[in-house]
């Protein structure tokens, strides 16, 4: 069965490069996040709202994997350094793409780097990017069965945001059923129900983020 070792080699090479990327992040003293969700789940909205809340005391950079720079333009308008990885229709980012994007950002001038992955709940889960935390965003309109249908994504997550909580009642979303599916795959996963529309739940997410930024800051000054 020659095909199986070939796939393993590709993933192994990706992991090796991801380890090199992690060294770059650590020596720059920044916290790096890989944000994953379905298309429209709220990745860009979470990034924009997080920037809005933290930009006065945290130096933030964003890498976006997309075919068009529409989302990135909104982020750049906030005065945030950004880098676009044109995925050319690829269904995920990999370590090679992220590594190629690093020289376009001054990592030493950042406290937080957010990578917006391609909108997809399957492929991104298989490719490590060297970040400190894989953050998965699920959203209420997608339905409460997502952990049952896309187990790899939820199993591999370090943090889970459940976005669009403002739509919970309209959608008949069963938070308990959703959480049970997650708990079986990834017991004790850090979980924040949020709404980018109303801002509900954001304080807890931002508190978690500030603590994580401090933990990875290398003791460097985090204020610009």
Ligand X SMILES: Nc1nc2c(ncn2[C@@H]2O[C@H](COP(=O)(O)OP(=O)(O)O)[C@@H](O)[C@H]2O)c(=O)[nH]1
Binding residue for ligand X, selected from 40, 67, 104, 122, defined by CB under 6 A: 40
Beta carbon of residue 15, minimum distance to ligand X (angstroms, whole number) = 26
Which of 158, 166, 168, 183 is the binder for ligand X (CB under 6 A)? 166
Query: Residue 169, interface with ligand X (CB under 6 A)?
Result: no
Q: Is 124 exposed, middle or buried (0-12, 13-18, 19+ CB in 10 A)?
A: buried
Sign of CA dihedral 133, 107, 30, 207: negative
Q: Which of 31, 34, 41, 43 binds Mg ion (CB under 5 A)?
A: 43
Of 29, 42, 61, 130, the one binding ligand X (CB under 6 A) is: 42
DSSP string, 51-99: HHHHTTTS-EEEEEEESS-HHHHHHHTTT--EEEEE-TT-SS--HHHHH
Using the contact rule CB under 6 A, the part of the chain among 97-105, 179-187, 195-203, 210-218 near ligand X is 195-203
User: Residue 203 has which token pair?
Assistant: 């304080």
Per rule CB under 6 A, is residue 41 in the interface with ligand X?
yes
Question: Could you say which residues in the range 43-62 bind ligand X, by CB under 6 A?
Answer: 43-45
Binding flag, residue 224, ligand X (CB under 6 A): no
Closer CB to ligand X, residue 119 or residue 124? 119
Name all contacts of 214-218 with Cβ < 8 Å and 24+ positions apart.
215/31, 216/25, 216/26, 216/29, 216/30, 216/31, 216/132, 217/29, 217/30, 217/31, 217/111, 218/26, 218/29
| 193: contact with ligand X by CB under 6 A | no
Within residues 62-81, the interface with Mg ion by CB under 5 A covers 71
What is the rounded CA–CA span in Å between residue 108 and residue 114? 15
Q: What is the dihedral of CA 82, 206, 27, 134, to 10 degrees?
A: -80
164 lies in the site for ligand X, by CB under 6 A? yes
- 178 or 216, CB closer to ligand X? 178
Residue 119 is a binding residue for ligand X (CB under 6 A):
yes
Question: What binding mask, one character per residue, do residues 75-94 give for ligand X by CB under 6 A, x or -?
Answer: --------------------
CB-CB contact of 85 with 98 (8 Å) = yes
Binding residues (CB under 6 A) for ligand X: these are 37, 39-45, 71, 119, 163-164, 166-167, 195-197
Binding residues (CB under 5 A) for Mg ion: these are 43-44, 71
């Amino acid at each position: 069965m020659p095909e199986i070792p070939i796939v393993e080699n590709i993933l192994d090479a990706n992991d090796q490069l991801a380890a090199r990327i992690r060294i770059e992040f650590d020596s720059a003293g920044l916290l790096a996040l890989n944000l994953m969700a379905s298309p429209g789940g709220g990745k860009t909205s979470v990034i924009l709202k997080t920037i809005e809340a933290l930009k006065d005391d945290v130096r933030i950079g964003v890498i976006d994997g997309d075919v068009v720079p529409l989302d990135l333009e909104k982020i750049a308008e906030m005065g945030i350094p950004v880098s676009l990885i044109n995925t050319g229709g690829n269904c995920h980012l990999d370590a090679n793409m992220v590594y190629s994007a690093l020289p376009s950002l001054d990592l030493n001038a950042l406290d937080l780097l957010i990578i917006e992955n391609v909108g997809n709940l399957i492929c991104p889960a298989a490719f490590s990017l060297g970040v400190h935390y894989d953050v998965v965003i699920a959203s209420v309109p997608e339905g409460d069965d997502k952990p049952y249908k896309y187990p790899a994504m939820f199993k591999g997550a370090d943090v889970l945001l459940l976005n669009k909580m403002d739509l919970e009642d309209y959608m008949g979303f069963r938070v308990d059923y959703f959480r049970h599916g997650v708990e079986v795959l990834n017991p004790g996963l850090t979980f924040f129900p949020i709404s980018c529309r109303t801002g509900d739940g954001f304080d807890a997410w931002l508190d978690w983020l500030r603590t994580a930024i401090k933990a990875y800051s290398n003791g460097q000054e985090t204020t610009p």
